Amino acid sequence: MNPQINLPERLPRVQSVAIPQKRKTLHQWRLHLWNFEKTKFALLLCLFVTLCSNAQFLSGDRFQFTVFTDIGSAIEEETIPHTGVEITYIPGAIYISGSLSYFDLDPSYTDWIFSTGININLFNYQPIRYYLGPRIGVAFRAKEGFPLAGGVAGLEWEIADSGFAIGYRFWIDYRTDQEDQAYGDSSAYERGWFTNNSKLQENGAVTFSWIW
């Protein structure tokens, strides 16, 4: 005969003990931010290497007229979109462009920009053009000119050999007007995708181009 074991009807409750969590120190936060920046840089570097390994320079010779506008920021800030026009000459592997754009700020300002750089396509797919290059110019605010310099990267897709292309571009400018307290400084600047420097302004725009 097997001995009968009587178990208690209710087991004693085990009380949980809260383990105090340590707050992250300033050094730990800085280390966490540094690791995030390294990861972002590594991903961008991998993407850059992948693109370069499958890139070819454009061939041919053409002009194009472009209208670009930043609709997203206009909706967010409830202002007239940052809009501009541009003429570009593309003699194959490089491009040369000049543009004029308007920002509806207080006071509003107008940018005159010159840019030149390289054109490529990926996997020998000609309808999509990728471009990258430096840009320099002058921003006029309240009839006063401020030099600026930066870089631009973008892409555009020509739709079915129609001579019409749509695309997107992103640029970062060092703007000397940001050194003037009358036009803004770091106290009103929100961190961008790549930098938190108040003088390095990040912008993007949708582009519509006519090619001939």
Tell me the pLDDT of the chain (212 aa) as tens digits: 555 556 555 555 655 555 555 555 655 555 555 566 667 677 777 776 776 666 777 777 899 999 999 876 666 666 677 889 999 999 988 999 999 998 877 777 789 999 999 998 887 788 889 999 999 999 988 788 889 999 999 999 999 889 999 999 999 998 887 766 555 554 445 556 667 666 788 888 999 999 99
Residue 191: the pLDDT is: 56
Cis-peptide, bond into residue 3, ω within 30° of zero: no
**In 104-143, which ranges are E strands?**
109-122, 128-141
pLDDT at 103: 81
CB 114, CB 49: distance < 8 Å: no
Dihedral of CA 170/174/178/184: which sign? positive
Rounded-to-integer distance, Cα 55 and Cα 149, Å: 27
- The tokens for 180 are 């003037």
Radius of gyration for the chain, computed over Cα atoms and rounded to the nearest angstrom: 27
pLDDT at 90: 93
- Residue 77 parent element (H or E): helix 71-77
Contact 119, 92 (CB under 8 A): yes
How many Cβ atoms from other residues are within 10 Å of residue 187's Cβ?
7
- pTM (predicted TM-score): 0.70
CA 179 from centre of chain: 22
pLDDT at 108: 76
pLDDT of residue 186: 47
Residue 191 and residue 201: Cα distance in Å, rounded? Answer: 10
